[in-house]
Chains A and B, each alone.
Chain A
Amino acid sequence: MDSRFGQKKLPYILLLPSIIVSILFLYYPAIKSFILSLYKTAFFGMKKIFVGGENFIELFTSPDYLNSIIISLIFSAGVVVIGLAISLFIAVLVNQDVKGVRIYRIGLIWPYALSPAVAGTIWLFLFNPTAGLVNYITESLWGISPDWISNGKLALLMVIGAAIWKNLGYNIVFYLAALQNIPREVLEAADVDGASDIYKFFKITFFFLQPTTLFLIITNLIYAFFDTFGVIDILTKGGPVNATTTLIYKLFIDAFQNYKSGLAAAQSIILFIMVMGLTIAQFKWTDNKIQYGA
């Protein structure tokens, strides 16, 4: 007996809502982005002139845009490297057989619920020069009171910190799930052989965590590139002097403050190429898992 249902029309009816929404609000605007990227808009969007690849040439010769690429690279490298190192460290610690592990676990993964805006708001206050706590600590320890908002490098550091904090929960959730899937026999066998904890971690645990690490590198890159707008908008608004203007923030400024829709669409296409590369890498290298984002 065929173990599927025989109805011919029903599957299409079931898929119809998803497909209509996808075409109207995902494919159509994305294709429109591509077309728009080949045009320049003038007179407040009243007139469109076909310019071919000129928008792209303008972007890659503009110091501002090149700067935002570099800022994005530093920002995402910080979020990935520091964020994953901390998450892995914590996940390995929590994955022990001690009492109350469930309580600890909630205490460590709750930042999953944090939003970029809430994380940004709390950090803005923490780093406030007069009422915040960070400067009080630096003041009493080293007698310095850095200005986190107007020093470009410090501002970038602060934004990276907030972005890492917000994503800790997500990363720990995945590392914990991966740790629980390591076959117990392997670790017990190592115990019997008298392997040290450090040996066990680097030779066994780390080996089993490689696919998850790769998966998390990719999803954290996507997070750093696409989902950190709120953190930056609330903490620094891209400043001081573009020191925290990442690609997504630059896109927002060009699209909705400078009203250069052609130039903004070209930036959308560049972002699309990046997200496409990352998504394909994710499917190719990480066992067909999917990003739990949207």
Chain B
Amino acid sequence: MNTPQEHSQYKSKILETLLTKATDVIIEDTLENGMVLNMGPQHPATHGVLRLLIHIDGETVIGCVPELGYLHRGYEKIAENSTYHEFIPHTDRLDYLAPLSNNTAFALAVEKLAGIEIPKRAKYIRMIISEMARIASHLVAIGTMAMDVGALTVLLWAFREREKLQDIMDLLTGARFTTSYTRIGGVASDWTPQCTAMLKDFLEHFDENLDEIERLLNTNRIFLERTEGIGVISKEQAIAMGLTGPNLRATGVDYDVRRAFPYLDYENIDFNVITYTEGDSLARYWVRCDEMRESAKILRQCLEKMPEGEILAHDPKNVLPKKFDVYTKMEELIHDFMLVNFGLNPPVGEIYSSVENPKGELGFYIVSDGTGHPWRLKIRSPSFVNLQSLPLLIKGHMVSDIVAVIGSIDPVMGEADK
């Protein structure tokens, strides 16, 4: 780095992009204090290892180039080298704030590929765990967003609620949050009356506790002024940028995979798709708050409607048999051996299946060649796509607004980097 040539060589491609391609905003009355600011990958407000290269003029953001890949763990390559069952634990670590939801998404995708119909009780258990995951994830989302703009209490109160949910998950699945709970064809263990009691207890106090959390923010002038009108995206832009989930619904589009392409038993459940029309950070926060209430409503209905019965489909070629049968019956032992060693063999074909995750539409595109390993497994991760709109959202705002906007997008880097 001593000669000018070496110095210019050192200029990375990302910096080049920032200086030449991402400057399409023109601000009148420029201060002519152009400067490049590096933020991340280790920064408390980036929710992980997101790196931003920001071009600022004084305090105003002119351009921004996000750099990903600091947590690229090669999921898709790992998936090609493991059986369908082996990949379930990996889905936990995708969106690690809502692992149960990811488990459900992957199991649904494989079931669609192999054509397995699961029992109704398993469907309801999956719905319950998905909604629990949604509440747990949104609690962290609003907590960290509030922390980014300076309100620490919200995070602590949100974590207090989240811990209650994690106790239920602990009891149900055996782990606090890397659960690996679903199996292809059903779920691993049955929903117990104790879980019902704990969930009912949680739901009883949840609404007032959420009100309490909201009261800290809804009339807080600092919070309102730092989020209202910040990071605005219009309906058309949001669709063009491929936003999904709460970020899209905050702009007024009522696209919810639970409604648009119903899976599990969401057709028979009564819930509202929350939309706001402002499209700013504050609207995204409100969508999350209201969605938690809707999730609580769904949970109550699910507890009421949950039927008795089996939790695993009876399909010996595709679904792992019960452990008790494996130890006592010859045929089940053979099936278990074949499934564990060679995996289930779905037909040749390709499917795309998606669910509504807390962050947006989580999709799995699986190409099968008829063997036990997926030929190609593509994860359509919502955080990855949502992050793409970040440069658009923060252009023209102040440096300090960046953290608020990132908090309102709520990316999870485990999922964005795959």
Q: Do A and B share a complex? A: no
